[in-house]
Amino acid sequence: MEKLIITAAICGAEVTKEHNPNVPYTVEEIAREAESAYKAGASIIHLHVREDDGTPTQDKARFKACIDAIRKLCPDAIIQPSTGGAVGMTDLERLQSTEVEEPELGLKHPEMATLDCGTCNFGGDEVFVNTDNTIKNFGKIMIERNVKPEIEVFDKGMVDIAIKMHKKGYIKAPMHFDFVLGVQMTATARDLAFMVDSIPAGSTWTVAGIGRSQFQMAAIAIAMGGHVRVGFEDNVYIKKGVPGESNGQFVEKVVRIAKEVGREIATPAEAREILGLKPLSK
Ligand code: KMH
Ligand code: ZN
């Protein structure tokens, strides 16, 4: 079986220190959480950034500061900024995260970024809006900037939208999907199997189980040969009622499960190979 790519979604835009005091806000806290996940075995850092008071932002300078701080501690990690940002942000605001350069590594843009392929309910009156025009625009810009999309899909309809966008030339194959289960769609083994069955042959996939489904979805994905995303963005408890100490603790738990069932962990270089990314030049 292919080696396991672990993504750490260290921060998110919705969780706060009230949910878990270890949720990072400052540049230093974000770098600390990225390092803990990287050292535990995460090869991808899915990145949202915050102001020091916790307010989510897509500000390019803040992303640059966080990416530079992470890079010092995680020299070869794949840093995958969010273009989802937070509910209510404009498309232009959201796209700033794809503008960050890392000249020392020859990167004019991030290697990857998320591409959310549909609109969904986000609890209460919140709606996370991704119209067809938004998806086309983001897809086109990511192709121009050579940013590999992690296609975030919250239900099967979004898989169909992504396939439609691929056929129209807005997303290149092979596609890489992140099934976010437990927001709009439930998170069961049947749901995950249905999603996996629905993507084109040759695609890769990871699963982000939300809340208490996080480690259950991870365990199933490990056995199925998919990849796994964990972290405070999706869940703040290491087990029922016990707040996680760090994102690294979550990654360690995934590594333990994987080792028990004989699945090896991909290094960042191996993750790049699996995802069809160029090796990092130093
Ligand atoms: N915070 C959500 C509104 C992504 O990173 O692309 C969007 C989100 C998805 O988290
Ligand atoms: Zn995100």
B/e letters for 187-204, b = 16+ CB within 10 Å, e = fewer, are bbeebbeebbebbeeebb
Domain count along the chain: 1
The angle formed by the CA atoms of residues 3, 77 and 155, to the nearest 5 degrees, is 65
Q: In whole angstroms, what is the distance from residue 124 CA to residue 192 CA?
A: 25
Is any ligand 1 atom within 6 A of the Cβ of residue 128?
Answer: yes
State the CATH number of the domain containing residue 105.
Answer: 3.20.20.70
Q: In whole angstroms, what is the distance from residue 20 CA to residue 2 CA?
A: 34
pLDDT digits 0-9 by tens, 157-196: 999 999 999 999 999 999 999 999 999 999 999 999 999 9
Q: Whose CA is nearest to atom 10 of ligand 1?
A: 84
Looking at the domain assignment, is residue 14 inside a domain?
Answer: yes
For the CA of 82, the nearest atom of ligand 1: 5
Nearest ligand to the CA atom of 128: 1
Mean pLDDT for 233-256 is: 98
| Residue 281: per-residue pLDDT | 83
Q: Whose CA is nearest to atom 7 of ligand 1?
A: 84
pLDDT digits 0-9 by tens, 56-65: 999 999 999 9
Token pair listed for 265: 């962990």
CA of 72 to the centre of ligand 2 (A): 22
CA of 116 to the centre of ligand 1 (A): 8
| Residue 282: per-residue pLDDT | 66
Given a contact cutoff of 8 angstroms between Cβ atoms, the answer to whether 112 and 277 are in contact is yes
Q: What range does the domain containing 69 cover?
A: 6-275
pTM value is 0.98
Looking at the domain assignment, is residue 256 inside a domain?
Answer: yes
Looking at the domain assignment, is residue 97 inside a domain?
Answer: yes
Inform me whether the pLDDT recorded for 153 exceeds 90: yes
Q: Whose CA is nearest to atom 8 of ligand 1?
A: 84
Looking at the domain assignment, is residue 71 inside a domain?
Answer: yes
Nearest ligand to the CA atom of 15: 1
Looking at the domain assignment, is residue 281 inside a domain?
Answer: no
Contacts of 200 (CB under 8 A, 6+ apart): 163, 166, 173, 175
Looking at the domain assignment, is residue 188 inside a domain?
Answer: yes
122: enclosing H helix or E strand: none
Continuous H helices in the chain: 27-40, 60-73, 91-95, 132-144, 156-167, 189-198, 214-224, 247-260, 268-275
For the CA of 46, the nearest atom of ligand 1: 5
Is any ligand 1 atom within 6 A of the Cβ of residue 114?
Answer: yes
CA of 134 to the centre of ligand 1 (A): 14
pLDDT digits 0-9 by tens, 2-41: 999 999 999 999 999 999 999 999 999 999 999 999 999 9
Looking at the domain assignment, is residue 1 inside a domain?
Answer: no
DSSP 8-state symbol, 199: S
Is any ligand 1 atom within 6 A of the Cβ of residue 235?
Answer: no
Given a contact cutoff of 8 angstroms between Cβ atoms, the answer to whether 204 and 274 are in contact is yes
Looking at the domain assignment, is residue 113 inside a domain?
Answer: yes
Is any ligand 1 atom within 6 A of the Cβ of residue 116?
Answer: yes
For the CA of 83, the nearest atom of ligand 1: 6
